[in-house]
Amino acid sequence: MKIGILGAGHIGKALARLLAQAGHQVGISNSRGPDSLLDGTQTLRDLAYALGHGVKAFTNEDAARFGELVIETIPFGKYMELPAVQVESKIVIDTANYYPQRDGQIELGGLSQSAFIARHLPRARVVKAFNTIQSAHLESQGDTSRPLDDRRAIFIAGDDQEAKDVVTGLIEQIGFAAVDTGSLADSKVQEPGTPIYGPDLSARQAREALKQSQSQQG
Ligand SMILES: NC(=O)c1ccc[n+]([C@@H]2O[C@H](COP(=O)([O-])OP(=O)(O)OC[C@H]3O[C@@H](n4cnc5c(N)ncnc54)[C@H](OP(=O)(O)O)[C@@H]3O)[C@@H](O)[C@H]2O)c1
């Protein structure tokens, strides 16, 4: 599958490497474009080359256009810069977490963080995923040789079951197991500060922890 990744930071790089290794065609973007320097010596194009497996550097719009599925993994506060038109009708994986001290004060109007992002991408099929795992663990903990129940859980949420099934497949291809927390509205249960945000749980443990967390929320 062609996958466009918006954001070439910790999570963007990890997902680009893992998904390209798994055989997908991956294009990645950042806020500066393929040829601007990142750190004095390296551009996004250099970074993409170093990721290997044919990963390409794109502008944001081109990455969104390229992807049959698009992953948005930029800081939450930059949501206005996401290319809404180019992702229309596509599955968009939202990895973002809202941290007011980093992202500034944003009025979510009672929405979950991913429902808020989805409102900005009105015709996209948004699935929340990968927000509860640190990038270093994403890089190191996938293991396709393990049975699904024993793999590290990646919590997902969304309103489109077919889109969630596609994302579940990608998660399994890179050695993890998806655990579904429900709709985008329900996805508050996997936001920062919740019991299931962060801990290293197998899928079996994650389903149990999710049940407890949901019953505490009433
Ligand atoms: N780090 C983690 O372990 C982790 C875990 C789970 C979820 N998350 C969440 O995932 C998101 C990304 O986190 P991160 O740690 O990977 O971020 P990061 O390392 O700070 O990188 C952010 C990336 O987004 C790019 N970016 C910023 N504005 C953009 C725009 N308008 N268009 C395209 N690219 C843009 C940046 O490019 P430039 O440098 O060119 O601006 C940079 O490549 C955040 O919401 C974070 O809370 C992070």
pLDDT digits (tens, 9 = 90+) for 77-113: 999 999 999 999 999 999 999 999 999 999 999 999 9
pLDDT tens profile 37-85: 998 899 999 999 999 999 999 999 999 999 999 999 999 999 999 999 9
CA of 208 to the centre of ligand 1 (A): 30
Residue 217 has pLDDT above 80, yes or no: no
Question: Residue type for 77, please?
Answer: G
DSSP for the chain reads: -EEEEE--SHHHHHHHHHHHHTT-EEEEE-SS-TTSBSSSS-BHHHHHHHH-TT-EE--HHHHHHH-SEEEE-S-GGGGGGS-TGGGTTSEEEE-----HHHH-----TT--HHHHHHHHSTTSEEEEESSSS-HHHHHH---TTS-GGGSBEEEEEES-HHHHHHHHHHHHHTT-EEEEEESTGGGGGGSTTSTTSS---BHHHHHHHHHHHHHHH-
pLDDT tens profile 152-197: 999 999 999 999 999 999 999 999 999 999 999 999 999 999 999 9
**Ligand 1 surroundings by CB, under 6 angstroms:** 6-12, 29-32, 60, 73-76, 78, 81, 95-97, 131, 134-135
In this predicted structure, what is the pLDDT of residue 87? 98
Say which CATH number the domain at 107 has: 3.40.50.720
Q: Which among 31, 78, 200 is the best mutation to test ligand 1's pocket, defined by most ligand atoms within 8 Å of the CB?
A: 31
Q: Across all residues in the chain, what is the average pLDDT?
A: 97
What's the structural domain count of the chain?
Answer: 1
Which of 136, 186, 181 has the alpha carbon at shortest distance from 154?
Answer: 181
In this structure, the residue with its CA closest to atom 37 of ligand 1 is 30
Question: Residue type for 40, please?
Answer: G
pLDDT category at 5 given cuts 50, 70, 90 is: very high
In this structure, the residue with its CA closest to atom 30 of ligand 1 is 31
* pTM of the predicted protein model: 0.98
Residue 218 has pLDDT above 70, yes or no: no
pLDDT category at 216 given cuts 50, 70, 90 is: confident
In this predicted structure, what is the pLDDT of residue 214? 86
**Residue 187 contacts residue 115 (beta carbons within 8 Å):** yes
Give the tokens for residue 90.
């596509």
pLDDT category at 32 given cuts 50, 70, 90 is: very high
**Structural domain range at position 61:** 2-217
Q: C-alpha angle 96/49/144, rounded to 5°?
A: 60
